[in-house]
Amino acid sequence: MRVLSDQQLLDLLHEDVPFGDLTTLSLGLAQQSARLEFRARQTMTVAATEEAARLLELAGAQTALLAPSGSLLHSNDVILRACATAGQLHAAWKAAQTLVEWASGIATASAAMVAAAQGVAVACTRKNVPGTKALSVKAVRAGGAVLHRLGLSETLLVFAEHRMYLHETPLQTVDRLRRCQPEKKIVVEVGDLAEALRWAAAGADVLQLEKFTPDAVASVHQALAASAISPRPRLAAAGGVHAGNAAAYVAAGADVLVTSAPYAAPPKDVQVHFFAAATRRPGGRNRRSEKRPR
């Protein structure tokens, strides 16, 4: 499923080729028949391949998508193929390649963290690069992660920056939110063990342990297990959580790993091969087309 509309994709084309491709036009190549392939240069979980294929189609190409978003690919695996005129392919291939590389970086990083979490949910935050939410969400999901919160409109997450304006007990705050939003889970971000126990006793559904070390998460987990608090709130480890320490947080007792790390992942490398159309040799034999990796 695509998350960018045709108009958004056309805007990307117009941004890169506002007045035509000067080089292709000047060389007189625009009308020559051509085709291309996108291939993975390395192991990756791909994303935004549907958008890339549609971008090429909007430029006039016929495409064959071989690797939908979420596919695990290895070096030299084909992602998609397209055929059109050289002018049409040159107008769209770089924007399409960049989409796949960038989104696949996020998807691959998400998949690595999901693997490291050993079955515990990995929830990515809303701290994506501004303006990229739709594709960021798609890439995160392609890697097997879920969304911590898409924005401020659909979740309750009480920060210290909210609590500084309140003049009531934690129990009163939780009761008030429960009455106001009876279908929502109440998540409270806490900064230390004492805060965690106080809000757990008040009835918070989830404690977001902000920048807790794995040892500190283990201390909260053990303290709750030894307490009479029931039901026990779920523990979401947040802040500085990444694939390298995910297993430690899981071992400490975290129920959810909240992370922004995949959004900072480097793009994966997609190789684009151009092919000239086959031409006829005298006597009717085909001459092999020339391949140009990019």
Residues 128 and 220 grouped into a single domain: yes
Confidence at residue 282, expressed as pLDDT on a 0 to 100 scale: 35
What average pLDDT does the segment 86-104 reach?
97
Q: Is residue 102 over pLDDT 60?
A: yes
184: Cβ contacts below 8 Å, ≥ 6 apart: 155, 156, 177
Is residue 191 domain-shared with residue 239, that is, in the same domain? Answer: yes
229 vs 220: CA distance, rounded Å? 12
Q: pTM higher than 0.75, yes or no?
A: yes
40 and 166 co-located in one domain? no
Q: 243 with 215, same domain? A: yes
Q: What percent of the chain has pLDDT over 90?
A: 92
pLDDT above 80 for 2: yes
Provide the CB-side half-sphere exposure for 5 (13 A, CA): 3
Reported as a single tens digit per residue, the pLDDT across 147-159 is 999 899 999 999 9
Tell me, yes or no, whether 25 and 40 share the same domain: yes
- Domain tally, the chain: 2
CA 118 to mean position of chain CA atoms: 19
Band (287; pLDDT cuts 50, 70, 90): very low
Q: Is the same domain home to 126 and 244?
A: yes
CA angle 220, 172, 210 (to 5 degrees): 30
Task: Quote the pLDDT of residue 1.
Answer: 85
Domain containing residue 69: CATH number: 3.90.1170.20
Same domain, 84 and 161: no
Maximal CA-CA distance, the chain: 92
Q: Quick check: is 1 in a domain?
A: no
**Three-class DSSP category at 56:** helix
CA distance linking residue 30 with residue 24, whole number of Å:
6
What percentage of the chain carries pLDDT values higher than 70?
94
**Residue 200 sits in the same domain as residue 256:** yes
Query: What does residue 293 show for φ and ψ, rounded to 5 degrees?
Result: -75, 140
CATH number of 244's domain = 3.20.20.70
- What local confidence, expressed as pLDDT, does residue 289 receive? 45
Q: Are residues 178 and 256 in the same domain?
A: yes
Average pLDDT over residues 162-175: 97
- Residues 262 and 135: their CA atoms lie apart, in Å, by 13
Q: Do 258 and 222 belong together in one domain?
A: yes
Query: Are 126 and 246 part of one and the same domain?
Result: yes
| 154 and 277 part of one domain | no
Q: Report the sign of the C-alpha dihedral through residues 114, 118, 123, 129, in that order.
A: negative
Confidence at residue 35, expressed as pLDDT on a 0 to 100 scale? 96
The domain of 45 spans 6-112+267-293
